[in-house]
Amino acid sequence: MRIGVLDVGSQAVNLVVSESGNRIEAKKPFPARSWKVRTHVATCIDPDGAIETKGRVRVADAVAEAVGHARRAGVEEIFAFGTAAIRDCANRERVLDEIEDRSGIRLGALSGVEEAELTFLAARSWLGREAGRMLLLDIGGGTLEVASGVRQLPELALSLPLGAGRMTREFLYDGDPPSSAAVRRLRRHVRSEIRDGVMPGHWPAPRTVVAASRTFYQLARLTGAAPMRHGPHRPRYVQRKPLRKWIERLSRLPSAKRERLPGVSAHRAHQILAGAVIAHELLGAFGEDTARVCPWGLREGILLRRFAEEPDSPQAACWTPAPWSRSLVLV
């Protein structure tokens, strides 16, 4: 059976298709097809938190196109969901209605904690048991996820509204580049929210610190990691000490110049400064100097969870039914 995961996020609509019968081994690439279209929904959110008309049209058209790709690829089951940009927007029901009218699919929603759990599963599967106790850090567009554990699913998991896109909209809006006062306000807010929400002293150590998400990958490139063209298995790390200097530099550069930096994509250049501030404060709160970047994330975690539920899976006995939005069967 071909299974698809359709992820509607703050920057793009992503579709991944894989075979349910495949045995996925740690650090082995998924035998999958992928498709993506940029929507930049995060730039179409008004001051009241609603997605504007042009953003709704973009995302509805992109989902309809993704569903068409899934049908042509022979997908029989698709897990379609919206992340924080859709889940938390003020006009969510209208957005979901327009997507359904255009594509025939009603998006489900994963909670932030479910996203943390599934991303942790992907990172654990990538790194393997030798990672021991693992601390997962994931900076998304709308939320920050943190999870910790020694098994395939975490013992502790939480989500905070500290995504790079959200923090950019809420704090770094007074110019491009933003004022130094705005950057200071952002840093104070992030530090306070992490201290009060995460409570770093409550998370067990020692641990392997793992960073998932494109934000962390781009920050790793800025701090000296190799580009992805050198292969996914080459170890890459985000380093906290160089991040401090990069925050100072990024805060002086407009987005048009940030996108020329190593690893920084044009569509994320406006929010990479907020991402750097969040990463720097997060690593500092946990007393960590580095975090290893994992190329697998939420979509791979959903596929792994789905495959583990098959009756003949060697992991099936270890799992309870997944809590995410139910699958939609394409006909």
Q: Give pLDDT tens digits for 170-186.
A: 999 999 999 999 999 99
Rounded to the nearest 10°, the torsion over CA 191, 192, 194, 198 is: 150
Confidence band for 227, pLDDT divided at 50, 70 and 90: confident
Enter the pTM of the model.
0.88
CB 200 within 8 A of CB 194: yes
Tell me which residue has tokens 């009603």: 106
Nearest to 131 by CA among 142, 123, 119: 123
- Amino acid 31: pLDDT: 58
- Write out pLDDT tens, residues 201-210: 889 988 899 9
| Averaged pLDDT for residues 299-324 | 59
For residue 318, pLDDT over 70 is answered with no
* Cis previous bond, 206, omega within 30: yes
CB 240 within 8 A of CB 283: yes
Q: Count of residues for the chain?
A: 331
Residue 74's CB is within 10 A of a number of other CB atoms, namely 12
Helix, strand, coil shares of the chain, percent, nearest 5, are 45, 20, 35
Nearest to 3 by CA among 70, 66, 64: 70
- Write out pLDDT tens, residues 1-36: 788 899 998 889 999 998 865 555 545 546 578 899
Residue 24's CB is within 10 A of a number of other CB atoms, namely 18
| 3-state per-residue secondary structure call for 221-239 | HHCCCCCHHHCCCCCCEEE
Q: Pairing between strand 77-82 and 2-8?
A: parallel
- Dist. CA 45–CA 248, nearest whole Å: 27
* Average pLDDT of the chain, as a whole number: 88
- Dist. CA 39–CA 103, nearest whole Å: 16
Give the range among 75-79, 121-125, 280-284 with minimum mean pLDDT.
75-79
| 138: alpha, beta or left? (left if phi > 0; alpha if psi -120 to 50) | beta
Maximum C-alpha span of the chain: 58
- Dist. CA 83–CA 14, nearest whole Å: 11
Contacts of 138 (CB under 8 A, 6+ apart): 115, 116, 119, 144, 145, 146, 211, 212, 213, 216, 297
Q: What are phi and psi of 52, to 5 degrees?
A: -70, 170
Question: Given CA atoms 88, 89, 95, 97 in this order, what sign does their dihedral have?
Answer: positive
